[in-house]
């Protein structure tokens, strides 16, 4: 088990002197701010975001997630945390990252942006986790391993013990992306971050908390990792409106919405296989279904013509013939079934 991540850091990051603002250093109550070259005339947005407001929202999220605030990083979507993993741990043109395939596309995009080799290992039968194959793909320059659970686009969550086995055996940082964890019964690895310094758990407010438009991503990790991320990120990465609105939305209980989505997911999983054009509906631990159909492109075009948008994943290796369908409201799901029913009768 890895007990210290210091040896994984890029040399320039280990010696980084982070940017510091007077606002970060100021501990008093609200005063007159002549430190940041802002326009002094109030319009609600003339000041940079308040560090104290961010800490208030962070503390609220930490309480909801059942973690300590010092173990929580807030980013501009989960993509910021993914990019920070590369910037902090991977030396361009030397190190590499590993991921399962198919999976979330931004892992590879961020690797390309940071000029880091990206290795993928195909999932096993019915999208099972290839533990040994992932470990065999690693070498002395493998710094990151991305594991999306529940996975996108396959929708299945992995056994926590399998994931922890990779955390224990991989000599780098293991990033478990739990964007859809609120819809799964298999639970989160967030409680293990203090036991495993090389574990980073990504979550988001976009899915279960209905804040996709606000772009608030979370990284739950060892306090040292969070501290490094905060040093490397750009200043004021989350805006005033985002902090204010997120704080208000977090006051509402979303459990009823989550239960409704799970119930609607179950309904769609039962009814869709009744159509002749549907060959298989894969088990889902997320808020979407991966559905194999007889002619993905034709059905996709039929849905688009009816102004109902799904994701065509039929050209993705491992997802041939599949559409990815998000679980909508009961009314939206009924429209989906009606369109497919009409298509099925052609």
Say which residues have a Cβ less than 8 Å from residue 214's Cβ, sequence separation at least 6.
205, 206, 242, 245, 246
* Average of per-residue pLDDT across 148-161: 98
Q: What is the model's pLDDT at position 33?
A: 84
Residue 46 has pLDDT above 70, yes or no: yes
pLDDT band, residue 281 (cuts 50/70/90)? very high
Q: What is the model's pLDDT at position 280?
A: 97
CATH 3.40.640.10 domain span(s) along the chain: 6-20+49-249
| Higher-confidence position of 4 and 274 | 274
Say which residues have a Cβ less than 8 Å from residue 326's Cβ, sequence separation at least 6.
287, 288, 310, 311
Q: What is the model's pLDDT at position 54?
A: 85
From 26-35, 48-57, 121-130, 320-329, the region with the lowest mean pLDDT: 26-35
Token pair of 17, please? 């002197």
Distance CA 155, CA 261 (A): 14
Average pLDDT, whole number, for the chain?
Answer: 94
Instruction: Provide the terminal-to-terminal Cα distance of the chain, rounded to the nearest Å.
Output: 58
Phi then psi dihedrals of residue 307, to 5 deg: 65, 35
Of the options 3.40.720.10, 3.30.300.180, 3.40.50.150, 3.90.1150.10, the CATH number for the domain spanning 255-344: 3.90.1150.10
* Average of per-residue pLDDT across 253-267: 97
% helix, strand, coil for the chain, step of 5: 40, 15, 45
Residue 340 has pLDDT above 90, yes or no: yes
* Average of per-residue pLDDT across 128-152: 98
Burial (CB < 10 A; 0-12, 13-18, 19+), residue 145, is buried
* Average of per-residue pLDDT across 145-155: 98
Note if the pTM is more than 0.85. Answer: yes
pLDDT band, residue 36 (cuts 50/70/90)? confident
Question: Tens of pLDDT along 166-224?
Answer: 999 999 999 999 999 999 999 999 999 999 999 999 999 999 999 999 999 999 999 99
Q: Count CA atoms within 13 Å of residue 167 on its CB side.
A: 23
Distance CA 322, CA 303 (A): 14
Question: Tens of pLDDT along 289-330?
Answer: 999 999 999 999 999 999 999 999 999 999 999 999 999 999
From 43-57, 168-182, 251-265, 296-310, the region with the lowest mean pLDDT: 43-57
- Alpha carbon distances (Å) from 18 to 55, 228, 238, 323: 19, 9, 18, 45
Phi then psi dihedrals of residue 106, to 5 deg: -70, -20
Q: What is the model's pLDDT at position 32?
A: 83
From 83-97, 230-244, 297-311, the region with the lowest mean pLDDT: 230-244
Say what percent of the chain tops pLDDT 70: 98
Residue 30 has pLDDT above 70, yes or no: no
* Average of per-residue pLDDT across 54-82: 94
> What does the DSSP assignment read for 130-179?
-HHHHHHT--TTEEEEEEESS-TTT-PPPPHHHHHHHHHH-SSEEEEE-T
Say which residues have a Cβ less than 8 Å from residue 190's Cβ, sequence separation at least 6.
65, 66, 67, 178, 201, 203, 220
**Quick one: DSSP state of residue 49?**
P
Q: What is the model's pLDDT at position 310?
A: 97
Across the chain, where does the E strand assignment appear?
Answer: 72-76, 96-101, 117-122, 142-148, 173-177, 199-204, 216-221, 278-281, 288-293, 311-312, 322-326
With beta carbons less than 8 A apart as the criterion, state whether 37 and 31 touch.
Answer: no
Residue 20 has pLDDT above 80, yes or no: no
CATH 3.90.1150.10 domain span(s) along the chain: 255-344
Of the options 3.40.50.300, 1.50.10.20, 2.60.40.1120, 3.40.640.10, the CATH number for the domain spanning 6-20+49-249: 3.40.640.10
Q: What is the model's pLDDT at position 21?
A: 76
- The three-state secondary structure class of 226 is helix
Q: What is the model's pLDDT at position 291?
A: 98
């Amino acid at each position: 088990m890895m007990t210290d991540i210091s040896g994984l850091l890029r040399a320039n990051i280990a010696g980084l002197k982070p940017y510091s603002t007077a606002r970060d250093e100021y501990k008093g109550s609200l005063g007159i701010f002549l430190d940041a070259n802002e326009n002094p005339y109030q319009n609600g947005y003339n000041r940079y975001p308040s560090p104290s407001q961010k800490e208030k929202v962070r503390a609220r999220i930490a309480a909801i997630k059942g973690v300590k605030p010092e173990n929580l990083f807030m980013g501009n979507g989960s993509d910021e945390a993914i990019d920070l993993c590369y910037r902090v741990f991977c030396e361009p043109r030397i190190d590499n990252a590993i991921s399962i395939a198919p999976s979330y596309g931004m892992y590879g995009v961020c690797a390309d942006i940071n000029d880091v080799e990206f290795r993928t290992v195909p999932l096993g039968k019915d999208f099972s986790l290839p533990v040994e194959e992932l470990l065999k793909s690693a070498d002395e320059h493998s710094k990151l391993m991305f594991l999306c659970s529940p996975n996108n686009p396959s929708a299945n969550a992995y056994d926590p013990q399998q994931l922890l086995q990779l955390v224990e055996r991989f000599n780098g940082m293991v990033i478990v992306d739990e964007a859809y964890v609120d819809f799964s019964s298999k639970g989160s690895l967030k409680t293990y971050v203090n036991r495993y310094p090389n574990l980073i758990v990504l979550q988001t407010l976009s899915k279960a908390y209905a804040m996709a438009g606000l772009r608030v991503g979370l990284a739950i990790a060892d306090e040292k990792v969070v501290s490094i991320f905060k040093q490397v990120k750009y200043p004021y990465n989350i805006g005033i409106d985002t902090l204010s609105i997120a704080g208000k939305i977090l006051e509402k209980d979303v459990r009823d919405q989550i239960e409704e989505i799970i119930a609607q997911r179950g309904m769609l999983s039962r009814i869709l296989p009744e159509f002749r054009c549907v060959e298989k509906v894969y088990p889902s631990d997320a808020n979407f279904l991966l559905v194999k159909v007889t002619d993905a492109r034709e059905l996709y075009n039929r849905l688009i013509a009816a102004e109902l948008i799904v994701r065509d994943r039929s050209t993705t290796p491992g997802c041939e013939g599949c559409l990815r369908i998000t679980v909508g409201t009961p009314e939206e799901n009924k429209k989906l079934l009606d369109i497919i029913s009409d298509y099925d009768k052609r």
